[in-house]
Amino acid sequence: MTVTTQLKNQHLLWRAGFGPMAEEFSQLATATHKSYVNSLFKASAKGPDMIDVADSAFKGLVMGVQEAGVQQQRPDEDQRKKMRQQSREDIKSLNLTWLNQMVNSDQQLREKMALFWHGHFASRNLNILYQQQLLDIIRQNALGNFGDLLREVSKSAAMLNFLNNNQNRKGHPNENFAREVMELFTMGRGNYTEDDIKEAARAFTGWGATISGEFAFRKFQHDDGKKTVLGKSGNFDGDDVLNILLEHKQTATYITRKIYRYFVNDVPDDNHVAWLSDRFYQSSYDIKELMKDIFTSDWFYDAKNIGSRIKSPVELIVGIRRALPMKLENEQVQLLLQRLLGQVLFYPPNVAGWPGGKNWIDSSSLMFRLRIPQLIYDNDEVALKPKDDDDQMMGMKDMPAMKGMGKRGGQMISANVDWETYLKKFDNVPREKLLSTISGILIQGVEPVSDQILNKYIDASSRESFIKTATIQLMSTPEYQLC
């Protein structure tokens, strides 16, 4: 396979973002990938606005409960039920609002990094205030310093509650939080002992959060005795333990390897990982510099790294919406698509996040993936119902039935595709080159389906029909699932 300039640019746009926008098609073959790297980092330099979708009545209830808490009054069951329902609705809004950011924002690299960290610091929490606060921490720090990100996530109400650290107190340590901080967030399994976890748990005693989501250090619940963590001893608190973990080179290696698998190739190259993690550690964990090292390296554009990753469900949905400009009348259908494909934002399967890779595909999810473009084109109904056992639902049993679902679980896609904008991008392409041009933009680094097979399904009655149906057919191939 020849790696053309266009292929390099598309590779970069898929890995450092969610694929090319229809508006970009014309410059893909001529711009240098270096200029794309620069513009991606430049566009993502500024901190994003917080996504705040929490219902003001819900915020009022929380503040009321917090104030009432002073008089030791608990919210009654009716109030709590109302809060839970409102919170779930708001989390759906948070999901769709963030998804729209991924589609439309110029800050492609920031949103893609945020999606990575959203899986790395996985937290399932049905409190909208906690979820949007954690998302804000992740989006703000996505390209910043990993140490800052780790500290802020560790002090977030979402994570402290999800990992039971509110129950971690002197004399009765709860090891859950300390374990996950070491195993999943920093060093990886096998690089610490059970004693390290026990001692670290003592250091995190007293770390909690108020009902409205502020970090609270409860001094009287904190064990201020001497602890030994990873060979270092002292009267450590939680911050000290996080510093010890960051000082350990293994943390840089673990994070780099995980980033490499997500952004470069499922099969890490040990030499590249070693070089990158050295530089990451030397830079005191500067995420932006690590990503620059990856996207400016020649090996990143090697043929074996292009088209080697299976798109996650979110990448698939967002990528289709970027390539085909569309207005969705029924945005909620995207929640159903996420459920059917096995990745609902804010509902990770467990604390380890989504496993990714080949786990995205089984026979039923692949068949459904291949149908989505046609459903969009035909404005058809998604008539499948998500499976009901909790493994398959990825822990979404606690997610209420989607609004607007009929008896069969059907929901209309209702997409108005702006075909005019899309078609314009092929104005200067001669008829005989149309198929290879469209294919070159949509299929990454693998041999596309043969023209003979495609032509059987393409409507060649007019140039317009040809472009539309060729696009939909190419998006409905197994090859389109790769990026």
Determine which of 344-353, 402-411, 434-443 has the lowest per-residue pLDDT on average. 402-411
DSSP-derived letter for residue 415 is E
Q: Name the helix (H) or strand (E) containing 77.
A: helix 77-104
**Rounded distance between C-alpha atoms, residue 380 and residue 402, angstroms:** 17
pLDDT at residue number 308: 96
Residue whose token pair is 């049993």: 397
**Rounded distance between C-alpha atoms, residue 413 and residue 7, angstroms:** 31
Model confidence at 390: pLDDT above 70: no
Give residues with Cβ within 8 angstroms of 295, minimum separation 6.
12, 15, 16, 37, 40
CA angle 399, 405, 406 (to 5 degrees): 140
Please give the residue range of the domain that contains residue 321. 313-481
Residue whose token pair is 């195993």: 183
Q: Is the separation of the CB atoms in 235 and 86 below 8 Å? A: no
The tokens of 97 are what?
């609002």
Tens of pLDDT along 212-250?
899 999 999 999 999 999 999 999 999 999 999 999 999
Tens of pLDDT along 94-131?
999 999 999 999 999 999 999 999 999 999 999 999 99
* pLDDT-derived band at 411, boundaries 50, 70, 90: confident
Q: Tell me if 74 is assigned to some domain.
A: no
Statement to judge: residues 317 and 440 lie in one domain: yes
Contacts 24+ apart (CB under 8 A), 221-227: 221/168, 221/169, 221/170, 222/170, 223/170, 223/171, 223/173, 227/199, 227/200, 227/202, 227/203
pLDDT at residue number 402: 41
Q: What percent of the chain has pLDDT over 90?
A: 81
Q: What percent of the chain has pLDDT over 70?
A: 94
**Rounded distance between C-alpha atoms, residue 210 and residue 45, angstroms:** 32
Q: Tell me if 75 is assigned to some domain.
A: no
Name the domain boundary from 262, 278, 305: 305
Question: Could you tell me which residue, 59 or 36, shows the higher pLDDT?
Answer: 36
DSSP-derived letter for residue 182 is I
Phi then psi dihedrals of residue 466, to 5 deg: -60, -50
Statement to judge: residues 336 and 290 lie in one domain: no
Determine which of 8-17, 330-339, 356-365, 445-454 has the lowest per-residue pLDDT on average. 445-454
* pLDDT-derived band at 68, boundaries 50, 70, 90: low
Statement to judge: residues 377 and 424 lie in one domain: yes
Q: Tell me if 340 is assigned to some domain.
A: yes
Tens of pLDDT along 420-473?
999 999 999 999 999 999 999 999 988 878 888 898 999 999 999 999 999 999
Q: What is the dihedral of CA 376, 379, 383, 388, to 10 degrees?
A: 40
Question: Could you tell me which residue, 379 or 3, shows the higher pLDDT?
Answer: 3
Q: Tell me if 111 is assigned to some domain.
A: no
pLDDT at residue number 393: 45
- What would the mean pLDDT of 375-394 be, rounded to a whole number? 69
pLDDT at residue number 73: 57
Separation in Å, CA 445 to CA 7, 307, 358, 372, 440: 7, 5, 18, 22, 9
pLDDT at residue number 388: 60
Statement to judge: residues 361 and 471 lie in one domain: yes
Model confidence at 283: pLDDT above 70: yes
Q: Tell me if 367 is assigned to some domain.
A: yes
Q: Tell me if 92 is assigned to some domain.
A: no
Question: Could you tell me which residue, 193 or 392, shows the higher pLDDT?
Answer: 193
Statement to judge: residues 393 and 270 lie in one domain: no
Q: Tell me if 237 is assigned to some domain.
A: no
**Rounded distance between C-alpha atoms, residue 197 and residue 180, angstroms:** 9
Name the domain boundary from 282, 305, 328: 305
Statement to judge: residues 349 and 440 lie in one domain: yes
pLDDT at residue number 409: 53
Q: Tell me if 355 is assigned to some domain.
A: yes
Q: Name the helix (H) or strand (E) containing 381.
A: strand 381-382
Statement to judge: residues 440 and 344 lie in one domain: yes
Statement to judge: residues 352 and 473 lie in one domain: yes
Statement to judge: residues 320 and 469 lie in one domain: yes
The tokens of 303 are what?
């043929």
Model confidence at 278: pLDDT above 80: yes
Model confidence at 91: pLDDT above 60: yes
- What would the mean pLDDT of 130-153 be, rounded to a whole number? 98
**Rounded distance between C-alpha atoms, residue 155 and residue 80, angstroms:** 25
| Number of domains into which the chain is organized | 2
Q: Is the separation of the CB atoms in 472 and 435 below 8 Å? A: no
**Rounded distance between C-alpha atoms, residue 236 and residue 175, angstroms:** 16
Statement to judge: residues 294 and 366 lie in one domain: no
- What would the mean pLDDT of 84-96 be, rounded to a whole number? 94
Model confidence at 372: pLDDT above 70: yes
Statement to judge: residues 415 and 392 lie in one domain: yes
Statement to judge: residues 297 and 446 lie in one domain: no
Name the domain boundary from 285, 305, 325: 305
